[in-house]
A = this chain, B = another copy of it.
Amino acid sequence: MLTDFMQFAVDQAKLAGVATYQNPRVGAVLVKDGHVLAQGYHHYFGGDHAEVDVLRQVTPEQARGATLFVTLEPCSHYGKTPPCCEQLVDAGIQQVVIGQLDPHPLVGGQGRQYLRDHGVKVITGCMSDVVRKLNPHYNHFYTQQRPWVTLKTAMTLDGKINSGAPRRTLISNHASYVDSQRLRSQFQAILIGERTLTIDDPQLTVRLIAMSQPPVRLVVLESSTVALQHRLVRDGQAPTWLLCRHAAASDEQLQASANVHVLIGDWSPAAISQLCVEQGWQSLLVEGGAHIQAGFVAAALVDEWISYLAPTMIGGAGLPAVTGAPATESLVFERPELAWLGTDLRLRAVRKEGE
């Protein structure tokens, strides 16, 4: 069965974790006479593509006339590595079974065309539903031309994110903290607002997982002055972009650091989304606060909602998870996925397509 071998390729792709960064996760399996000759995957950003990882493991004799199962369409352009299509043709691969065509504008069906033009039999769309889930952010970015946006919040049963007093309130438990570190590692940019910066002084780093390309840190501010004393412009742990409404004397001082950028503009959710497009950040994790979240809901720029629900109640003075900018329409989500983290409940809901 084609799907049996494609499942192996999917399993291979997952081995990369988040190390492929802005590249998609891709797995490949080389098959001849109904047996697997080799399995491989794209290990990390800048490393060999899955097709090459597989070909390296076999002799030219073995490769000739074999069938390659690969989760994503082989590339046809010179990027960090030479195009895989050429190498597959040169190796005498007879048939290529593809999970999903590559939505990247530099590939987009051209890999398949190249293979067919060179006498390789190509089947596409094998297990495409499963394969697509390997790279939801990458697929979304290149098909929708905007980043995948996830709103994340830690809240009480009554929907509050802090006590309402201007100091940090610890809502969720340690298991939720660990889980939110894993969550951060899957994003290329993390966004907070000014109040979250000043009250929480967060680092927004992935502390529990070593990362070659940590998510960039975005902060929406009136001006950069308030950022001066905060950790994320001082720790050098990841790039920090200060999205300011007004220029300030502190701008120049801050930009002296290679890791800090100051941009002046009207930073609506749409403008932030556009910045992500320009910078190639495929995914944006909006960590708060309540007003930033409301802005993204109002702009309908929400693809996913993740909340860590703690079994407590703060009551009427607590700050709601989402407050401020009114939305003109309700957003509709698929049935949430649930996971227990001790006594905290993680609730994950993906926006319903076409709504």
Contact = CB atoms under 8 A, between A and B. Distances in A.
B307 A302 contact: no
Interface stretch (A70-78, A235-243, A310-318): A310-318
A163 B293 CA distance: 16
Interface residues of A, number: 49
Interface in A280-321: 290-291, 293-295, 297-298, 302, 305, 307, 309, 311-318, 320-321
Interface of A is mostly: mixed
B327 A317 contact: yes
B336 A311 contact: yes
Contact of A307 (B157, B160, B307, B317): B157
Contacts of A327: 313-318
B314 A323 contact: no
B158 A321 contact: yes
A91 interface: no
Contacts of A324: 316
Interface string A257-284: 0000000000000000000000000000
Interface in A313-341: 313-318, 320-327, 330-336, 338, 340
A111 interface: no
A343 interface: yes
A309 to B, nearest CB: 8
A155 interface: yes
A38 interface: no
A122 interface: no
A345 interface: yes
A215 interface: no
Nearest to A312: B330
A70 B304 CA distance: 52
A190 to B, nearest CB: 20
A222 to B, nearest CB: 19
B164 A155 contact: no
A325 B315 contact: yes
A349 interface: yes
Interface in A197-256: none
A193 interface: no
A327 B318 CA distance: 9
B343 A335 contact: yes
Contacts of A338: 338, 345
Nearest to A306: B157
Nearest to A295: B316
- The 3 A-B pairs with the shortest beta carbon distances in the complex, nearest first, are A159-B159, A294-B316, A315-B327
Interface of A: 155-160, 163-164, 290-291, 293-295, 297-298, 302, 305, 307, 309, 311-318, 320-327, 330-336, 338, 340, 342-343, 345, 347, 349
24 contacts: A155-B159, A157-B333, A158-B159, A158-B305, A159-B320, A160-B320, A160-B322, A164-B326, A293-B316, A294-B315, A295-B316, A298-B316, A312-B331, A312-B332, A313-B327, A313-B331, A315-B326, A316-B323, A316-B325, A316-B326, A317-B326, A320-B320, A320-B323, A338-B338
